[in-house]
Amino acid sequence: MNVSLLMLGSGTSQGVPAIGCRCETCLSDDPRDKRLRPSVLFTTGRSTLLVDTSSDFRQQMLREGVRCIDGVLYTHHHFDHIGGFDDLRQFNFLQNTAMRIYGLQNTLDEVRLTFRYAFGDALQLGGGVPSTILHAVKPAIPFSIDAATVTPIPVMHGVLPILGYRVGDIAYITDTNHIPETSFQLLEGLDVLVLDALRHKEHPTHFCLDEAIEIARRIGARKTWFTHIAHNIMHERDSALLPENMDFSYDGLLITSERGSHD
């Protein structure tokens, strides 16, 4: 199974530049320092799988010209990861079907609560609501979407259990400061790892850059790209701090696996 991953957004919950900020990164002319909220798109031979509907979902879809999504994989329910949910209704119109959504049960419960108008509690529909089919997944138990096999990777975001996802030999893990020992087994033999690396200074719910480098070395993917990058990190300036097989990702980056599936 050939797999690719498109970086839709490589930034934090504030995005980069941050509103009103005059730091060097926020004023940078380097397009790699312009970071929308975090989201990626997996593509296999037959399936296109979106990870998170970020707050910048509509802008990301227009920029990349996406016309088909076969399923949405939610990592967790924080608003920068679910804020674009309403714009899934355009894909209902394009594809003439309900959107399949996957995530932990508590994540799906929070999506229902945040967007309750889309789940039978709308006083007036207006232009319509997203039509979705929710599928609760279990941590570490692979599941299939059409011909694609997806492995949910349990990780911790502070005290909140969330998911990363592995498709073929590419894994995407954002918003984490701890990977349980049992999850490292699910990350063996990776060709590509995309991993949270928020900033230089330590953070209570995200890996800082030094922690992310250490974890990436342990996982041992052929190539690691860092994501969920705050404005404290400047792409060109700080790339010199990275090991040879590690880089900062950026919006619009297309990552391909050079090996077949691990299945």
Would 261 be classed as within a structural domain? no
In a domain, 75, yes or no: yes
147, part of any domain = yes
Q: Express each pLDDT in 96-147 by its tens digit.
A: 999 999 999 999 999 999 999 999 866 666 668 899 999 999 999 999 999 8
Q: How far apart are CA 198 and CA 12, in angstroms?
A: 8
Calpha distance 55→97 (Å, rounded): 23
Where residue 127 sits, what CATH number does that domain have? 3.60.15.10
Domain range for residue 176?
A: 4-247
For residue 228, what are its two tokens? Answer: 């969920």
Residue 69 lies in a domain: yes
Residue 255 in any domain: the answer is no
46 compared with 217, residue with greater pLDDT: 217
- Residue 189: inside a domain: yes
Judged against a pLDDT cut of 70, whether residue 191 lies above it is answered with yes
Statement: residue 260 has pLDDT above 60: no
Tell me whether residue 256 is in a domain: no
Provide the percentage of residues in the chain whose pLDDT is more than 70.
95
For position 123, what pLDDT does the model report?
A: 66
Nearest in space to 197 (alpha carbons), one of 219, 217, 182, 212: 212
> Structurally, how many domains does the chain consist of?
1
Write the CB contacts of 74 (distance below 8 Å, at least 6 apart in sequence). Answer: 51, 52, 53, 81, 82, 101, 102, 103, 104, 107, 108, 111, 163
